Amino acid sequence: MGKIGPLEIILILVVVVLLFGGRKIPELMKGIGQGLKEFKKAKDTADADTDKSAGKDN
C-alpha cells in the first residue's frame, strides 16, 4: 500500500508535464540541482566547523 510503483511514477510525471509544460521542466530541474548542490556545500561546511570546534576542546 505504501510503495510507489511504475504506474504511480508515470502518473506523477504526466501531471508535472501538464502543470509546468515541457519547456519549464529543464529550468525546474536545474533549480533543484543547484539547490541540492548548495545544501551539500552548507552541510560540508557545517561538518568541517563541527570537526574544528571538537578538535579545539581536546
Q: Does residue 58 register a pLDDT over 50?
A: no
Over range 34-39, report the average pLDDT. Answer: 95
CB neighbours of residue 25 within 10 Å: 14
The percent of residues above 70 in pLDDT, for the chain, comes to 91
Residue type, 7: L
Q: pLDDT tens digit string along 9-36?
A: 999 988 888 888 888 888 888 999 999 9
pLDDT of residue 25: 82
Q: How far is CA 50 from the centre of its chain?
A: 23
